[in-house]
Copies of this chain bind each other. A is one copy, B any other.
Amino acid sequence: MGMYLGIGRKARRAYGLDEIALVPGEVTINPNDCEMSWSLGEHHFPIPIMASAMDGVVDVQFAIAMGKLGGLAVLNLEGVQTRYEDPSGVLAEIANASNEDATRLVQGLYTEPIREELISKRIEEIKDSGVLAAVSSIPQKAERFGRLAADAGADIFVIQSTVSTARHISSEYEILDFKKFCTEMPLTVIVGNTIGFKVSLELMETGIDGLLVGIGPGAACTTRGVLGIGVPQVTATIDCSAARDFHFKNTGKYVPVITDGGMSTGGDICKALACGGDAVMVGSAFARAEEAPGGGFHWGMATPHANLPRGTRIRVGTTGTLEEILYGPARLDDGSQNLAGAIQTSMGNVGAKTIREFQLTELIIAPSIRTEGKVFQQSQNVGMGK
């Protein structure tokens, strides 16, 4: 397995979502007979779709709307929502910045300190509406913010960094003990992002409840360009799903794999699930909702990094309500709306009654659809003149 890059050095070929397609089944099923629900810890959700902890996507109102529609949105505890009592002005500033100034502006606005009372307040606002509250921080802040979140009534805590492993080394700060955190905190714990069988297995063995998979593939993420690091999502999801199944056979505990990043259409989401994902975490697709606080703009969690920003603010536009994006009716034919309907229809066409059957779909390696139709478009110009 692997190809020679040069003398004595082999590498695996990794695959991205653009490079594969799902093969229709020998049996097809009426989509309405297909069931796409999933479980995370003690929680059960009708649709396998989460919204990313990104400031252009999730605020309190968005989290409530998402929860009421059967999904789960994660609020970033280190973003504008916990730095500003009223972040609306700051969000408008970011939306109005020019492309040249956006990164610099975001860097500046995120130097405002985090106010712990806002952490509690945001969580309470979400809980007051009757939906689950999910929040996130980086590992170094997890101990402190996890405690605050638990006290405020949060249900799910996401510990997220560019690359997460169970074994981190530092001479400067204390390392988060995932095992201790999972045992002591009365919270469902998701950790990420990660790739690879072995690292996933080590993280699952610490007792976490869910794993975020994906390093470097997101639309608002420039990790691969800046650091050279990244693993395409097909290979990442398959490898981590193999770890999940191995861990389940050994321990009886099923730790769901949540593919995170790089999916902008229903087709991408279907592929991630068919590769073994139990759910997906989506950013840019939701940044286009009328409910999204970014006002049609979207930026990654590493964009504000003071010294080495690894994300970019992109304009995604506002194309419909969150309900339309999740359940349709789709007004666009590009796969960006009615994501739940797309999953169910795709499941029906490949003949999968449940997500776990969907995870076994036959995949093919296929040339990207994104370059098709070119000759046609060229030749049509000739005809246009008529």
Contact = CB atoms under 8 A, between A and B. Distances in A.
Contacts of A264: 373, 375-376, 379
A195 B350 CA distance: 12
B238 A9 contact: yes
B307 A12 contact: no
A25 to B, nearest CB: 7
A309 B332 CA distance: 7
A45 to B, nearest CB: 21
- This protein's copies in its complex: 4
Interface string A350-375: 11000000000011111111111111
Contacts of A269: 228
A113 interface: no
Interface stretch (A86-94, A120-128, A216-224, A248-256): A216-224
A138 to B, nearest CB: 13
Given A29-B170, A33-B171, A170-B33, A317 B7 contact: no
A151 B210 CA distance: 60
A259 B167 CA distance: 32
A153 interface: no
Contact of A386 (B165, B267, B318, B370): B318
A55 to B, nearest CB: 15
B267 A224 contact: yes
Most buried by B among A99, A199, A230, A333: A333
A249 to B, nearest CB: 13
A264 B375 CA distance: 8
Given A226-B267, A365-B12, A380 B316 contact: yes
Contact of A265 (B24, B284, B330, B375): B375
A369 B345 CA distance: 29
Interface of A: 1, 3-9, 11-16, 18-30, 32-33, 99-100, 103-104, 107, 162-165, 167-173, 194-199, 202, 215-217, 219, 222, 224-232, 234-239, 242, 262, 264-271, 274-276, 284, 288, 296, 303, 306-312, 315-319, 328-336, 338, 341-342, 345-346, 349-351, 362-376, 378-386
